[in-house]
Amino acid sequence: MKVLAISGSLRRDSHNTALLRAAAERAPAGVELELWDGLKAVPPYDEDDDVDLAPAAVTALRSAVAGSDAVLFATPEYNHSVPGSLKNAIDWVSRPLATNPLRNKPVAVVGASTGIFGAVWAQAELRKVLGALGARVLDRELAVGQAAERIAGGSVGDAEVLAELEDLVGDLADVVDARRAAVAAA
């Protein structure tokens, strides 16, 4: 099972990217997490550019999503919401809505912030956006507050966060299995 991991932070020492690396290291047997690092290359959405030959970075993202069984997002929170660059990339993937590769795709959202709230509002808004474009959104969050202490030096040192992260990825893998079973039965 292949899970695409997308961080909404471009920063080299990002706490959110560190969360995804930790998730990859602890993925359950049979689950492979692949970190996507093309966010910075995605241009601003422009319907005039959304043609058969879309920008290369967009085509690469759409292919990566289509080739994955699930997607795990880690989002920081900018002004109580999802970073524009991440929302922009999702907007590209979502077009056209009826056939976009996130449709029916199991997805989960986690988030980290240096404050105490752990990007809860950004996570909620990202879940709403993913639901609107037809994804199968895992109804749970992982809010890692005080990230500078809990994810120091680019590594998640908090055992509780690691256990929750591992459990959440397990839940996401269960949704993939349930989807396969439902499709086989339908």
Q: Which residues bind other proteins (CB under 8 A)?
A: 97-98, 103-104, 131-137, 179, 182-183, 186
CB of 128 to other proteins, least distance (A): 8
Contact 39, 6 (CB under 8 A): yes
Is 116 or 186 the residue whose CB approaches other proteins more closely? 186
CA-nearest of 31, 12, 63, 18 to 168 is: 31
Give the Cα separation of 151 and 50 in Å (integer): 38
CB of 139 to other proteins, least distance (A): 10
CB of 107 to other proteins, least distance (A): 10
Tokens of 12: 């080299």
Query: Which residues have CB under 8 Å from 137's CB, separation 6+?
Result: 107, 108, 109, 127, 130, 131
Is 11 or 128 the residue whose CB approaches other proteins more closely? 128
Q: Longest C-alpha distance within the chain, in Å?
A: 48
CB of 15 to other proteins, least distance (A): 29
Q: At CA 56, angle to CA 54 and CA 57, rounded to 5?
A: 110
Is 7 or 100 the residue whose CB approaches other proteins more closely? 100
Using only C-alpha atoms, the chain has a radius of gyration, in whole angstroms, of 16
CB of 36 to other proteins, least distance (A): 23
Is 67 or 131 the residue whose CB approaches other proteins more closely? 131
Is 116 or 183 the residue whose CB approaches other proteins more closely? 183
Q: How many CB atoms lie within 10 A of CB 103?
A: 14
Neighbouring-strand partners of residue 81: 78
